[in-house]
């Protein structure tokens, strides 16, 4: 079964608890985008919000750090309630293995993300250290962007470079029932969707279509 991780970036932040409860019966994960205004040209939520919503749900917190110097904040995000921390290779480079180790030493799952212009071969030495590889199919920073189909074909590259049967290959950006079907047909087993889920008239149906 494909892991669907709804992005709360598309939520009504004035009613965040209610928005989370809308998807809670239908998914195991929730995707939390953290942006710093430096690594990406946008600012979103941070540690205090994660700490607050941890109190109102038992969903698995799939936290995506789109920030510079992620190693400085790993412990704080984990202490706030994160279950999986995915950081960007482009923000870490040669620090990547140490950051993965830092996350795993805290007993949490580690993910590594790549932007559209990054070749999967650049992370070949790190793929098998990770629990999750997140392939961005839009430029990170804003929700609601158009899916970049060429990026989806990185899925097959990651599969060839991995020797892990349990590796989660997650796709984020422009995901809907059609683009999600392409990604899962290529081998993705986790989809992040924001607008497609939260702007849907029937959230349960939208999620079920992604799962299939």
Helix axes of 177-186 and 203-211: crossing angle, nearest 10 degrees: 20
Specify the 3-state DSSP secondary structure of 13.
helix
Q: Which of 75, 125, 172, 177 is catalytic?
A: 172
Instruction: Compute the distance between CA of residue 105 and CA of residue 126 in angstroms, rounded to an integer.
Output: 16
Q: Judging by DSSP bridges, how do beta strands 109-114 and 132-136 pair with one another?
A: parallel
Q: Is 125 a catalytic residue?
A: no
Q: Which of 33, 36, 62, 131 is catalytic?
A: 33
Listed in order, strand segments (DSSP E) in the chain are 3-6, 29-35, 60-66, 84-88, 109-114, 132-136, 168-172, 190-193
Q: Is 172 a catalytic residue?
A: yes
| Residues identified as active-site | 33, 172
């Amino acid at each position: 079964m494909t892991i669907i991780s709804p992005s709360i970036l598309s939520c009504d932040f004035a009613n965040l608890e209610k928005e989370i409860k809308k998807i809670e019966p239908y998914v195991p994960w929730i995707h939390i985008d953290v942006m710093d205004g430096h690594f990406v040209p946008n600012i979103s939520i941070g540690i205090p919000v994660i700490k607050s919503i941890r109190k109102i749900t038992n969903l698995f917190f799939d936290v995506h750090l789109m920030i510079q110097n992620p190693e400085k904040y790993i412990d704080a995000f984990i202490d706030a309630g994160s279950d999986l921390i995915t950081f960007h290779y482009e923000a870490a480079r040669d620090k990547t293995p140490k950051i993965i180790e830092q996350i795993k030493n805290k007993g949490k799952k580690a993910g590594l993300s790549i932007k559209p212009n990054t070749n999967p071969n650049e992370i070949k030495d790190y793929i098998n250290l990770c629990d999750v590889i997140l392939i961005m199919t839009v430029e990170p920073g804003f929700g609601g962007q158009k899916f970049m189909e060429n990026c989806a074909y990185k899925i097959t590259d990651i599969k060839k470079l991995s020797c892990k049967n349990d590796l989660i290959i997650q796709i984020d950006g422009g995901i809907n029932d059609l683009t999600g079907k392409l990604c899962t047909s290529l081998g993705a087993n986790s989809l992040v969707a924001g607008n497609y889920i939260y702007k849907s008239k029937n959230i349960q149906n939208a999620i079920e279509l992604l799962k299939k």
